[in-house]
Structure 1
Amino acid sequence: MNEAIEPSKVVNLSQRMDPASERVGELLNAVRNIANKRLQQWIGNAFEQVDDALFDLAEKAENNAAQMHYFDGMREVRKHRPAVERNFLGAISRKLGELTRPVQQPGPATPTPHGSIELSLVADNELEESLAITSMIGKNESRLSRDLFAVNQRLSVICGGHKIDDSNNPVAPANLAQAFRSALHEFSADMRVKLIIYKLFDRYVLSMLEELYHDINIELVRAGVLPQLRHEVLRGTKTKASGVDGQSAGVAGADEAGEIPTDLLQTLHALFSARRGPVVPGGGLGTTSDGGMHAMPSGPLPSANELLGALSVLQSQIASAGPLPYAQPDDAIALSREVLELKGQLLTQIGALRGERPSHVANIDEDTIDLVGMLFEFILEDRNLPTAMQVMLARLQIPYLKAAILDRKLFSHRQHPARRLLDGLAEQAKSWSEESDRDHRLHEKVKSIVDKLLHDFDDDMGIFERLLNDLQQFQEANKRRAELAEQRVAESTRGREKLEQARRRAAREILDRIGEQKLPPLVHGVLARAWANHLVLTLLRQGEASPEFKTALRFIDEFIASTRPANDVQSRQTLRQMLPGIQRALRLGLANVAFQEQDIERLLGQLHNYYRQQLGETLEESEVVTIEEDAAMLAIPDSIQPVIDSSPAPDEIPEEETVEVPPDSPEWHKVQALQPGNWLEFCLADEPMTRAKLSWISPMSGRYLFVNRRGLKVADYAPQELAILFAEGQARVLAANALFDRAMSAIVGKLSQPESAATPSTDTE
């Protein structure tokens, strides 16, 4: 409950208060109670929505693996929700209580980029999470600036004049988001689940902060704290985005002008700014070849129109060179040099257009040029893309640089058509191989889109949407065909495995019952071929628990028993009683495996003669069934294949050298982590490179079935076989996330390391 300040205690607080006074403690306690009550209610509301949101997403999940991520996330939330809420509310309450004891700074505070999220957060490859947080912070700080300004001013007064602003106010959006992020460290959930939770935190907590600030302001005004304060933000009071050393004023100015509307670019510009070094008086920004700072000659900077004009000239030169040739092995190396040289070519071309070569461009344009360059360097080094596709996509550097200058949302909005087009092309390219694209349909589609961008893109950004639709239609048409083929492959494989399992079961049942007994060839042949096939069909159709299967097993016992010597009256009587049942069962069983009537009569005739011998009857010479004669082969048609074969005993099989992969090895963990839908590259000896998707993992044998992009079977491996391929470097898993996301994470990670060069790492394994 709020502890409202009694009217009798209201005093004039136009002057600073002593932070150690009892009055300050009362006021801060009132603020803390207001905050705790509101935040406890809102954080509870947010978590109440998590289950429904994750369940809805699980129902719509594209595959079982994604569905399990959401279900696992639901369990994590239920398990850790109390601790997260407790830690979050406790952190805010503690920080409010510490406002009167400000941490002493050793020097002037370094401004941080918009949203007060330190760049170090991005350096840990947590780009996606950081962007989600900075996005919701930026949106809410702008919306709430009026009320938050008043809260900051009043808290500054009661804290003895110590300045309270957005960066150190515990209930400011940035600090609330940071506290929530810290509390979420309890979770080990998938990042997709965390992003859903952040969205709900934004909707049910941050979007409600206006009420909290209103309550705090009302409470402090009642206590006499700055009752006449006008609720308006003076120009310049908001912290501008800056670089690591506060050197990117140009970037901040561009932000205010609306040229860079998102936090990703602000983060990247700050990192680029830190890499360039501080401004040198009288010049621009620049670095020497060894990374040192030097002054750049002043002069008119190229405008956006000049940059676009120069890029169009360079683009037309590439387009006029003719159709893209089929990629050669050395093309990627040559293109890498072109990517690195583009900035110099651009300045030279601008010089040709204006009559003098500029020495540099505006910081924001230089950052965009470098960023696009690093993106395409990443593409040329990305092992997830086949070389032929790398070379084609790298031709798009100039069109994408033009697009980035025309619309700077390209790098930060996942739904931007240009970004989705490049991601879509890369996703299609990932599955490409010569073998799977014999008709060159995919290669020609990617090539046609690249050609259209090179020839047709001037300044109409709508071309990306049109080409994206074209690619999606191509993808859907091929996807339907591939899914049908993949389904047939899986069903065929599943059917073969069920058949093989049934054959093994039938063979085991028969061999177990025969044991060490030596059966006549005729009886052994019937069991090994005809009756074994009858057992297989019964297992497949009726199942092992069916009466039919149990009856078929009883016949085996009776049939074997009928071969025992009948040397006395009792045993002969017993055999005579068994024969009618054996004959009936054989007729039914042989008919079940498609014996022709004449073949059934022939086999029964041979068995009849055999049993007459057993009973001691005298036979004509032609009727005698001898042990040496292969009676089984004479009696059973060739169309009936044996289920029990005469394979050599284990000690007769020559030993082969095999590689064993320990079950706790990284390769085994890779195999266990595979999910249907994962793409792998196989580079087997004396075979062309193959890319294949894990289509199905057999629940019976545990084998992994792989298909190509057309849905046709490529291979199937036992887990141990697959682990060996990983161990020998003949198989590797391809990245599942989008090209743009991989590239941005690699670029930010690279730029965040002061000693690193500009080229990002593309090692995705």
Structure 2
Amino acid sequence: MNAHAHATVESEAPAANAGEPSERSNPIVSALYEMAVSVLGDQLREMFDKADDILFDSAEKARAGDEQRLYLDTMRIVRVQRAKIINAFQGSLREALASIGNDDEAGTRNHLDDMSQWSLQDGDALEERIAVSNMETKAASLHAHELVELQRRLARLSDMSGDGITSESMAPARIIRAFQNSMRDLSVDFPIKLVIYKLFDRVVIGRLSEVFVGANQLLAVHGIEPRTDGPAQARKPAAQSFGRPSPGAAPGVPSWANGLDQSTLGAFSGPAYGGGSPQMTGGSASAGGSPAPWPSQPGSWGAAAVQGSYGDAMLSQEIAQILGAYAQGRAPQAPNWLPPENVALVARMFDGFYRDARLPDHLKPMLSRLQLPVMKAALSDRRFFVDPQHPARRTVNDLFEMLLQFGTAESAPQPQMISELQGLIDAVSRSFNLDPEKLRAHQSEPVDERTADSFLREQEELQQKKNRARVERVRRVVSHELKRRIGERRLPPGVMRLMLSGFGPLLCLDYIRNGIDGASWTQTMQLVDRVIDSLQPSRGSTAERAAAEAEIVAHISRRLANIGFSDARLEEVLSGLLQAYLELADNDDEAIFEDAQDGTLRVSVPEAAPAMSLELSPEKELQGLLSILLVPGGWFTVWEPATQTKHWVRVKGYYPVQNAVMFGHYMEERFLRIRASAFATDLIEGRASPIDPSPELQAAVARVAELPFERGSDALVWTSVDGKPIEG
């Protein structure tokens, strides 16, 4: 616990249990209770199902050893304490909802800015209160639309039943406090508890709308319509921009439009950096670390504008005025064709990118080159805000994720890779760089508040997700290295389950900690070798063999228990190995007695099966390495000699059996399908190149170059989704 005392807010003691819902006379209230408990229970179980992936990803991205260990320790704790937390949460939630008419506790919030309620408390308690308060604020902001409707229906139900129901009876605070109560008896260090809060925030808070939508539907079925004079809005802060406060909203200013940070607002209104391609080195884009601004010179982005016409400079100036007004809490004045709401949403999108702590300052100028082109794409097509797969929206989100990979690379990316990344960003900016004069004639439609809230929620959830391709690649590295260790041997299915479900997760963590050359990885692989060797027929005595097998099983149990495997899980992954040992003992120790011609008994011991090669064939080795390289979503460049053209593509799928790989164009709906071996040849000979600094990918490329496989190239033929060639 933190030894320092901090100022924090006093909270009331939990209200007494008001009885189980079955005692209530109102069946609608009981139905609401059962629905909420059921949905939230499922969400919490899903949270624990996803915990390994989320924590594994967080540990993989952590830079410091202590932070890495924190995520790994949390992974172990949640595996062991999962059932306890779920049961405690369900019990606490039942108590909270059973006292649905007693709103004193639910209405008590951590007003951290109310100095009259401050007292000296432990620093950990303060941090926990802040975490809980932030979750309440986030939940009220994310799900404001559904929550407002539910509050008004509950107000109507209160008028009809007089059963103590209020508009706040199913407020997010009740749910979050129930989870907080379920954590009280968890005997863990506070940093681990805080990580579990973040899991709850990430998985459950983002989906609370399912509870509120379900409640609204249930009340609607029973004829409970929203009260017209009910609560005007949920407890929603004026700003919803990643936890930062902003000025109160003026009339005509939607609450989500506030919260643009002044330090990043300069990116939309500052002087131009000349339209040149910003470099990867040389520090931040500005003295304050803000991204580089939009160009103010007409045509500097390549638009078909001429001097004196409506160009990028004038468009940028009007956008800056709109954003400046929003940042000050004023309703902006804008031309009829330029909806301020749409402008603010795209600005909030980039604002979120720049705030992400994983994005280094020296990479922000590269992202800033996309600001104006993406803004134009959004102004020209309202689908940008409603379709996450809109080409401009999908591409800028993908490029943001790619920049994060470059920012967390252990070593400086190769100059060629930097050049490929810059070329890709330039190509994307050209693709979406529309003529401002044509935009002005287009007359964009403003986005409604519900669409805006949905857009911001989707973007925030996307930013909370870390790079999945990196995690998937680590798993494929582990799988391939295990297959190389096993070679062409045919292990019993139960032993393969141990390899993949036991040693697999252990090796993933070993890889994250110290890489493939680390001591932990080496020790685990030595244990894999011992298991494989122990399956060979033995000439030793039964006692010696049993002792060796028991030692191996005990060693595996200790290693897996240390990373959080429960007793039941250990029994599941070890049962196949134990069965293999029993079958081996039966085959080894059963002497076969036969009658000899001279009347004596002859003892025959079965001969050992011939040992199979432990080396993978070149074909299998190539398949494994390509599975590491060709993770769905991975970026590559491919050179087309026939047209002297470079294409930026993303992996759509790798099909080892068919020796095929499919790529998609970086923004258009067209595809390339070529032989995987031909693509491997292109990689080796420089006609293809990955845009990814991860060391395991670079190592895989180097190993492909050493393999003796049949090399050759394929012509690049673009096709539509249905496989028909596309001309041109």
TM-score, L = length of structure 2? 0.38
TM-score, L = length of structure 1? 0.37
Bigger relative CO (Cα 8 Å, ≥ 6 apart): 1
Larger radius of gyration: 1
